[in-house]
Amino acid sequence: MYLSPASFFADFYVYPALAVILMAFAFYRSPTHWLAVLVAFVIGFCSWTFIEYIMHRYVLHHLTYIKDQHAKHHDDQKALFGTPTWLSLVVILVLASGPAVTYAGLVLGSAFTAGLMLGYLGYTLAHYSIHHWNARPGSFLFRLKQRHALHHHYNDLGNFGVSIGIWDYVFRTNIVVRRDDSHPAGAH
Ligand SMILES: [Zn+2]
Ligand SMILES: [Zn+2]
């Protein structure tokens, strides 16, 4: 949905603060298991990339109401369009943190949640910079912009990964531009 600047950028304040609090809690509650806490954080951070792919491919492009909202972003890419922080927070807590805490306990579940939150923040930052920042040819951001532009303008059945393309390679939905004729090609 369309967001005010304050609402759009709230992610950038709320999620780092929550991640610091959760990690401080995890280290405080279980200082001797600091390595397990760090591993849980990294697993949470990396897990986000998979959730990002699944959400974009199956939720944003297929689920009633949500797909209409996402279509507005496809039509108006410069608008501050996104998920309000309170809503993404509820989704993360209910669908990811709840099962993680149930399965791994409060300490490791908290560290996993902190990693997931920073992964989500990385996605939000990547998507914002893709649509709003200029990038030097050959840079990491330039390649992200190219990948995402193909999703927007050529084939919205591919390049679902925004912050990283690894799951598009795994699930064969990666779209690339052929060097010989500059025509996009790839999975459809
Ligand atoms: Zn986009
Ligand atoms: Zn899309």
Percentages helix, strand, coil for the chain (3-state, rounded to 5) are 70, 5, 25
Neighbouring-strand partners of residue 176: 185
Give the distance (Å) from ligand 2 centre to CA of residue 132.
Answer: 16
Q: What is the pLDDT of residue 181?
A: 47
State in Å: Cα 170 to ligand 1 middle: 21
Planar angle of CA 178, 179, 180, nearest 5 degrees: 95
pLDDT at 179: 60
Helices (H) and strands (E) in the chain, counts: 9, 2
Rounded-to-integer distance, Cα 49 and Cα 123, Å: 8
Measured in Å, residue 13 CA sits from the centre of ligand 1 at 22
pLDDT in single tens digits along all 188 residues of the chain: 778 888 889 999 999 999 999 999 999 999 889 999 999 999 999 999 999 999 999 999 999 888 888 888 888 888 888 889 999 999 999 988 899 999 999 999 999 999 999 999 999 999 999 999 999 999 999 999 999 999 998 888 899 999 999 999 999 999 987 665 445 555 44
pLDDT at 178: 66
Q: Give the Å distances, CA to CA, from 60 to 17, 55, 76, 128, 178.
A: 27, 6, 15, 17, 28
| Nearest listed ligand to the Cα of residue 82 | 1
* Ligand 1 center–CA 153 separation, angstroms: 10
Q: Considering every ligand atom, which ligand is closest to the CA of 148? A: 1
- Mapped to the 3 state alphabet, what secondary structure does 49-107 carry? HHHHHHHHHHHHCCCCCHHHHHHHHHHCCCCCECCCHHHHHHHHHHHHHHHHHHHHCHH
Q: Ligand 1: distance of its center to the CA of 97 in Å?
A: 26
pLDDT value at residue 7: 84
| Cα 25 to middle of ligand 2, angstroms | 36
